[in-house]
Amino acid sequence: MLPTSALAVVAPLEVKAKATDVADRKAKVTDVVDPKVKVAPHSARVAPAGAKGTSNNRLAVIDSMNAHQRIGILSDTHGYIDDQICKALATCDLIFHAGDIGSPKVLERLQAIAPTLAVYGNIDDAALHAQLPEVVHTEVAGVELVMTHIGGYPGHYERAFAPYLTPWHERPMITISGHSHILKVMPDKSRPGLLHINPGAVGRSGCHQNRTLIRLQITSGRPHDLEVIEWPR
């Protein structure tokens, strides 16, 4: 069972746990951000000056502008992927991998399921470093997403997130990081509209007791129905 302390959720998020056919439990998060807050159109925004990431420092171009998207978020596969992981992601429109991929075969299996955006992690080799960015910055269904491997969390962000968060202009945003192997879902109380997600580790390498990933739906600028999918390591 996933300990309640593993989900660092504070008001106004509502978390409910119930059984799922692909894992022991899932957590539902509703009303994550104010749906009235809008984001500039995809073509009107570029990454902040000095930010590392996608080619030419522009937002990743993916088919993500539909009003409703189902996304899967995972990290720290360390070269491991199995049929359970693929089944859990089978309904996703987009997949985000937050680094420490471990093998190109992981990305190949994910791409066979849905378009996949990924960043390199500290254990990834030179080939993956050359293929992938340090930061992915994109927009999905009206929500801005920024992903990096070593990003920290609210109150303790690492340098990679800084250009996207300072100064803060209230808008729906999700920051995604990995590295720690610690599941976190927490709003940034100092930045209205910002939700931080660390999906934990879904691979078998590391000190984590459970393997986890996250599924999340986004509709017209509002993240909702966040699910934590869990397996024993």
Residue 83: the pLDDT is 96
Is position 149 within any domain? yes
Number of domains making up the chain: 1
Residue 209: the pLDDT is 86
pTM of the model: 0.76
Is position 78 within any domain? yes
State how far the Cα of 134 lies from the Cα of 113, in Å rounded to an integer: 23
Phi and psi at residue 53, to the nearest 5° = 155, -120
Q: Which domain holds residue 197?
A: 13-34+74-232
Long-range contact pairs involving 163-169 (C-beta distance under 8 Å, separation at least 24): 163/47, 163/48, 163/49, 163/50, 163/51, 164/47, 164/48, 164/51, 164/137, 165/191, 165/194, 168/194
Is position 160 within any domain? yes
Is position 29 within any domain? yes
Is position 55 within any domain? no
Q: Which residues of the chain have pLDDT under 50?
A: 1-62
Residue 102: the pLDDT is 95
Is position 175 within any domain? yes
Per-residue tokens: 106? 């992981």
- What CATH number should be reported for the domain holding residue 195? 3.60.21.10
Residue 166: the pLDDT is 87
Residue 64: the pLDDT is 54
The alpha carbon of residue 38 and the mean position of all alpha carbons in its chain are separated, in whole angstroms, by 20
Is position 220 within any domain? yes
Is position 213 within any domain? yes
